[in-house]
Amino acid sequence: MERTEIDGVPVRWKQGPAPLSATLLFGCGARDETFRTIGVTHLIEHLVMSTLPRLHHEHNASVDLHVTEFTATGRPEQIVAFLAAVCDGLRALPLDRLEKEAGVLAAEGGHCTDPTTAALLTQRLGVQGAGLAPWTGPGYDRLTPEQIREYAARWFVAGNAVLLLTGPPPEGLRLPLPAGPRPDHLAPTPVATAEPIWCEHLVPSVGVSLVGDDDAAMALGSQVLSQRLEQIARRTHGLSYEVGGDVVLLGNGQQLVTVTVDAREGQEPQVAALLWEELNRLATEGPTAAELAEECAAAREMIEDPRAVEAYLHRSGFRELLGLPQITPEQRLAEFLAVTPEDVRERFQAALPSAHLVVPCGVTLSLPGLTEGGCPRLPEQPEGRVFHPPMLAKVLAREARGLRLILTDDGVALRDPDGDVHLVRFDEVVGVEEDGAARTVFGRNGCHVLVDPDMFRGAERAVRAVDAAVPASLRYRRSELVGLD
């Protein structure tokens, strides 16, 4: 791989098949937002792309959990013009198009990762960093020009970019991005559990997350697990179609691995049982030598495929932006070849106690070694001012009889009809939605509490307490584009 620098932006290139492809990669994604600014990265990407003229060559842009990229394929002069237009758009964002692009994004309804992985991330990390993935937040129409400018000035800068090319830089290429250093990323600590847990969630498929070492043994083991599940759940039993997943780097040599398996309607318990069984089998027996050899053969095939140049460049750029040491495909293959079945068994044995398994709502599991978890709940109602539903509501709805809103010294809590108590402390609030006289208070722990005078007699006092305790920067009017999560 060749390296150079243009206008303070690192450029990495390796000769690949024609025509020339370019990726301007930024080290920012959905995990770098806050609850109050969810969607700002995607909105900036849309604003920039809206400045481009009609182009007659392949081009695109996207945002995921970790990075934002602007891509194009074409003749050298087309690549030069495309990158210049992107840089111009970032230097002068067309904020006059804010309302229109907010509407476009609401219609698009895209997500930075699949819904089951997203739920696993928020369950593990809380409503911050990559744990923001399943949330819509305030809505694109509640992002202010100031928030957009501030985010762009921090993240879309030359120090946080790298250009990847499948050929030498074309003549006349410039990258006049705003100047700025590479920012630090939030590194949230995963929620610790004493034992493996399962819970219901608003997800379309079955999934599991594990905290494990960031090394070749864990990577190979995850691939073996996915292949086993595809073979057993899909080919042997005909219960599933697709196996997916993702990886989030946690720092300190740790990573969060997710594996998701869809299921035929009504077969979710069986698929969950297969997932749990295979995960335990990897932790107790490890993979076979033949399974590891198969994954190494797949890695070798990718290295030898000339079309894999773009994937290699992307991994290289990703590692540079995250400050990770570079590793060639040949070096990675050598690491894979050195992994033994015992290495994988040890990694998964160590990671198994951290397992979080999710299933769609309405699915109940009874599997050995798994205890039921879920949304954080208090064992008993906390002390504080208690607000009850109106008498008429209690008469008309049996469920209303058990509802209680509690204003504590340091937060608000809701006791649901089942007796479960959900608490959001004021110092853990990530957002407050204002809808007339009502407030919905969102906590970093994933709970949210509705403070509504129409639902609880005298709750105006609780509304005043929320407004006084939560900074104005975290409060927003209910979006006209999205509903409540």
Sort strands 197-201 and 356-360 into parallel, antiparallel or unpaired. parallel
Topology classification of domain 197-372: Cytochrome Bc1 Complex; Chain A, domain 1 (3.30.830)
Sequence-ordered strand ranges (E) for 252-374 = 254-261, 356-360, 371-372
Which pLDDT score is estimated for 484? Answer: 40
Which pLDDT score is estimated for 485? Answer: 41
Q: What angle do CA 263, 265, 268 make, to 5 degrees?
A: 50
Q: Give the DSSP letter of residue 132.
A: G
CA distances from 73 to 23, 49, 329, 341, 404 (A): 9, 15, 23, 42, 59
- At residue 389, φ and ψ (nearest 5 deg) are -65, 155
For 2-165, CATH number out of 3.40.630.20, 3.40.50.620, 3.30.830.10, 3.30.465.10 equals: 3.30.830.10
Segments of the chain with pLDDT less than 50:
395-396, 483-485
Taking the C-alpha atoms of residue 332 and residue 337, their distance in angstroms, rounded to an integer, is 9
Element (H, E) at 425: strand 421-425
Centre a 10 Å sphere on the Cβ of residue 153 and count the other Cβ atoms it contains: 12
What sign has the CA pseudo-torsion 22, 256, 334, 285? negative
Which pLDDT score is estimated for 397? Answer: 54
Taking the C-alpha atoms of residue 351 and residue 365, their distance in angstroms, rounded to an integer, is 21
Length in residues, the chain: 485
Centre a 10 Å sphere on the Cβ of residue 319 and count the other Cβ atoms it contains: 14
Does domain 385-477 match CATH 2.30.29?
yes
pTM (predicted TM-score) = 0.93
Preceding peptide of 17 cis, ω within 30°:
no
| Structure tokens given for 295 | 């994954």
Instruction: Confirm whether 2-165 and 197-372 share one CATH topology.
Output: yes
Q: Which one, of 206, 253, 211, 219, lies nearest residue 355 by Cα?
A: 211
Question: Structural domain boundaries of the chain?
Answer: 2-165, 197-372, 385-477
